[in-house]
Amino acid sequence: MTLSLSADHIQAMNAYAERTYPDECCGLMLGKVQEGDFPDTPIRVVTAIYPVENRWDQQIADDLQDESSSKTRRYAIAPEEMLQAMQVARCRNLDIIGIYHSHPDCPAVPSECDRRLAWQHYSYSIISVQQGKAREFYSWNLDVNHQFQPESLVLLETISS
């Protein structure tokens, strides 16, 4: 799987991650899935970034039986924000193709919680924010065994208007 996005998209996600530090940020990537150069190699092409508020709280932690009740180690997207993003995407003839979030003072590697809650049809991009500065950006997708695999990144040219 490949995720194609512009440097502006990455910069927008990095800036949001830095603003929300020391909490995790989260948001959605809107775009389209296109056929790749080879069979069974789709490309997720990001058209827009849709930041949302991290709604992780103690109730979510309790429901998931997760001891980490802190927004500094977990994120959650409220159902109403997901629905609103779906509506925005539909109006623009786009789909939600991925989710991004930050890992404050940790590597940009999926956690076990990230894996447990992930869906196979999304890209999962993670920004490592060290001492308030975005340092790493990696993207991942789930394989058929529900394990994260690194996802190739292709940078699109930014079109000035």
Confidence at residue 161, expressed as pLDDT on a 0 to 100 scale: 44
Q: Which two tokens stand for residue 74?
A: 């977990």
Q: What is the mean pLDDT of each run of 10 residues along the chain (161 residues)?
A: 96 98 98 83 94 90 79 94 97 98 98 93 97 98 95 83 44
DSSP string, 118-153: --TTSEEEEEEEETTEEEEEEEEEE-TTS-EEE-EE
Q: For residues 81 and 69, what is the distance between their CA atoms, to the nearest angstrom?
A: 20
Give me the pLDDT at residue 150, please. Answer: 97
Whether 24 contacts 72, CB under 8 Å: yes
3-state secondary structure of 159: coil
Q: For residue 32, what pLDDT is reported?
A: 97
Q: How high is the pLDDT of residue 115?
A: 95
Q: Which domains does the chain have, with CATH numbers?
A: 2-151 (3.40.140.10)
For residues 14 and 115, what is the distance between their CA atoms, to the nearest angstrom? 22
Residue-wise DSSP of 9-54: HHHHHHHHHHHHTTSPPEEEEEEEEE--SSTT--EEEEEEEEEE--
Which pLDDT score, from 0 to 100, does residue 38 have?
A: 73
- Contact yes or no for 102/17 (Cβ under 8 A): yes
